[in-house]
Amino acid sequence: MTCTRRLNSTDPHVGRFQTAFRAALEIALGNFKTADTKRVAAVAVILYLSSSAAWCGDTSAAGNATVPLDGKNQAISPQALRGTTWWRVATERGLDPYILYAVALVESPQVNNRLATPWPWAINRQGRTIIPSSRIVARGILNDALTKGIRAIDVGLMQVNVRWHGHRVRSPEELLDPETNIRVGADVLAEAIRSAPGNLTLGIGRYHAGWHNDTDAYRYGQRVLAVAQRIRWLL
């Protein structure tokens, strides 16, 4: 499917939007196989940045910076992540906030009104991605899987895997708390990066691919870094 956008030629951000859109499209189409997932991902990676206020109690967080598909945007804050949970958690763990956010955007994109955001209730159950509409629905899906003995399940914004990282919380349900999920994901990401000194791409990639598949890890790390670079440039 060909995706196009109409942009206001007087918009000072048009060049950046076009570049980010092309880069996002390349990233999306390069990593999804079926027509449906290509179509969704092409829209989903248009880099909508939420302030995290609704998810993490950041009522004073800097504001609703977006990169909408049609380019009819409000002014973009140059510090859209500063002051949010993303920023605080990343800083505490010595991570780049834009990389932390990019991992979440790659892991759990949800499209709403032609914008995309990391989705706090995202579930991947045995390789099948599910985007529940609410925390209650997500909890039901999670508990159903656990009752059936399924632990190959990824949860929330950072898609934390229950089998490998469930020990980091008292109960898997805690991973449906957005702030808890971000903190656990940040811990895992920091450990992965430390496992590959001097090789940020490989370290980031190990967050997703593990320690024994460097080919997939490099591919994932490159994808996250590309998304993070566009986020940083736009914001």
Render pLDDT for 171-188 as a digit per residue (tens, 0 to 9). Answer: 999 999 999 999 999 999
- Asked whether the predicted pLDDT for residue 144 surpasses 90, the reply is yes
- Asked whether the predicted pLDDT for residue 73 surpasses 70, the reply is no
- Asked whether the predicted pLDDT for residue 209 surpasses 70, the reply is yes
Residues of the chain with pLDDT > 90: what percent?
56
167 burial (CB, 10 Å; 0-12 / 13-18 / 19+) is exposed
Residues of the chain with pLDDT > 70: what percent?
64
pLDDT confidence of residue 75: 30
pLDDT digits (tens, 9 = 90+) for 86-117: 999 999 999 999 999 999 999 998 877 666 68
Collapsing DSSP to helix, strand or coil, 161 comes out as strand
81: its two tokens: 């992540």
pLDDT confidence of residue 79: 58
5 burial (CB, 10 Å; 0-12 / 13-18 / 19+) is middle
Residue 42: pLDDT band by 50, 70, 90 thresholds? very low
pLDDT digits (tens, 9 = 90+) for 5-33: 222 333 333 344 344 444 444 444 444 44
Considering the entire predicted model, what is its pTM? 0.70
**Which is more confidently placed, 213 or 9?**
213
Mean pLDDT score of the chain: 74
Handedness of CA 156, 157, 162, 167 (dihedral sign): negative
User: Is the CB of residue 16 less than 8 Å from the CB of residue 27?
Assistant: no
Average pLDDT over residues 63-74: 30
Q: Which of 67-76, 77-86, 98-107, 216-225 has the lowest mean pLDDT?
A: 67-76
- Asked whether the predicted pLDDT for residue 52 surpasses 70, the reply is no
pLDDT confidence of residue 158: 98
**Which is more confidently placed, 55 or 207?**
207
pLDDT confidence of residue 233: 76
- Asked whether the predicted pLDDT for residue 41 surpasses 50, the reply is no
User: Is the CB of residue 56 less than 8 Å from the CB of residue 185?
Assistant: no
Distance (Å, whole) CA 232 – CA 115:
18
pLDDT confidence of residue 45: 39
Q: What is the DSSP letter of 173?
A: G
